[in-house]
Amino acid sequence: MQLPDAQHHNFLHACRQTKIRDWQPLNTQGSSNYLFRSDASRQILRVNAPPERAVGVCRTRETGIMELLQDQPWMVKVIQNQPEHNWCSLKDYGDQHSAAILSTAKQQLPGIISQLQSIQTPSARLNFKFEAIWSVYGKIISLYREDPHHKHACDRLDVELKKTRQLQQQLPDTPEVLGHQDLHSGNLTLNNGQLVLLDWEYAGLCQPWLDAAGLISQFSFSHKTVNQLPAFKHLDEATFSSAANTAITFNKQLEILWLQAREITDNNDQ
């Protein structure tokens, strides 16, 4: 794996600090980060992507979330986290059969998300605000639009950004609770029958409509089941069902933004 200079520097720092030399690159398709596995130590090394490739990620917030939830059985075990050097090492749970993960998720995931929403924390550093994400996309558009090679892509990104913001405004208010905000099967694993949630980069105190969207669209939970979670139980069935469908579309729009922005910034690096 060929790392950019900054990430190569961070990788070497991680090698020195962990005293591990057998890191082997993993397939990182669908991820902005650079991942490595050490079979001998049963660890995963994540070298963080640069900020322009990780829109919406706040390492301070992520660190706070991982520290707060570290004792939960469904939280990935953090071995070392050095956000100032842009890497962390995590427990490697090994390769798991997707059917076993999905079966366990059907049994355990709603309960885990209910627990997550019920955890109390006053820390302002855990707040997740979409306004910060919209601001970053706006800066990408402003920065690259004057370049004729990027103008069309920036115009498309601007249109999709407006659509996404409109969808967010259609979502009813909920209590601000802890949310994972990136629920899909690739972010789950198993530890002796216990479901473990990975990749907490987008987690924070939020109105957890993205978790509702993930539970319904990724794991086929019923609207009724998700409506019973603490953050949504104040909404009647019809209101929740309509909002959940909007949240699913909103989640898809966020992926479109991420992919379009990555195309712009990646092409600029080439």
Q: What is the DSSP string of 21-43?
A: ---EE---TT-SSEEEEETTTTE
In a shared domain, residues 85 and 143: no
What's the pLDDT at 51?
82
Name the helix (H) or strand (E) containing 14: helix 5-18
Of 91, 106, 139, which residue is a domain's last? Answer: 91
Q: Domain total for the chain?
A: 2
- Hey, what are 200's tokens? 């907490």
In 10 A of CB 103, how many CB atoms?
13
In the predicted model, what is the mean pLDDT of the chain?
Answer: 95
Which pLDDT band, with edges at 50, 70 and 90, does 1 fall under? confident
Sheet holding 43-47, edge to edge: 24-25, 34-38, 43-47, 87-91, 78-82
pLDDT at 192 over 90: yes
Rounded to a whole number of angstroms, the distance between the first and last alpha carbons of the chain is 16
Query: Can you give the residue range of the structural domain that contains 118?
Result: 98-269
Q: Which of the pair, 30 or 201, is modelled with greater confidence?
A: 201
What's the pLDDT at 109?
98
Given a contact cutoff of 8 angstroms between Cβ atoms, the answer to whether 230 and 117 are in contact is yes
Name the helix (H) or strand (E) containing 206: strand 204-206
Of 66, 91, 116, which residue is a domain's last? Answer: 91
Given a contact cutoff of 8 angstroms between Cβ atoms, the answer to whether 57 and 78 are in contact is no
Distance in angstroms (rounded) separating the CA atoms of residues 189 and 76:
9
What's the pLDDT at 265?
87
Percent of the chain with pLDDT over 70: 97
pLDDT at 6 over 60: yes
In a shared domain, residues 145 and 48: no
Name 59's Cβ contacts closer than 8 Å, sequence gap at least 6.
48, 83, 86
What's the pLDDT at 103?
98
In a shared domain, residues 17 and 135: no
Which pLDDT band, with edges at 50, 70 and 90, does 130 fall under? very high
Work out the average pLDDT over 147-171.
97
In a shared domain, residues 67 and 177: no
In a shared domain, residues 115 and 15: no
In a shared domain, residues 141 and 181: yes
What's the pLDDT at 203?
97
Of 91, 111, 144, which residue is a domain's last? Answer: 91
In a shared domain, residues 84 and 165: no
CATH of the domain at 180: 3.90.1200.10
In a shared domain, residues 187 and 150: yes
pLDDT at 270 over 70: no
Given a contact cutoff of 8 angstroms between Cβ atoms, the answer to whether 34 and 25 are in contact is yes
In a shared domain, residues 247 and 227: yes
Question: What would the pLDDT profile of 33-89 be if each residue is shown by its tens digit?
Answer: 999 999 999 999 999 998 878 898 999 999 999 999 999 999 999 999 999 999 999
CATH of the domain at 13: 3.30.200.20
Name the helix (H) or strand (E) containing 227: helix 223-227
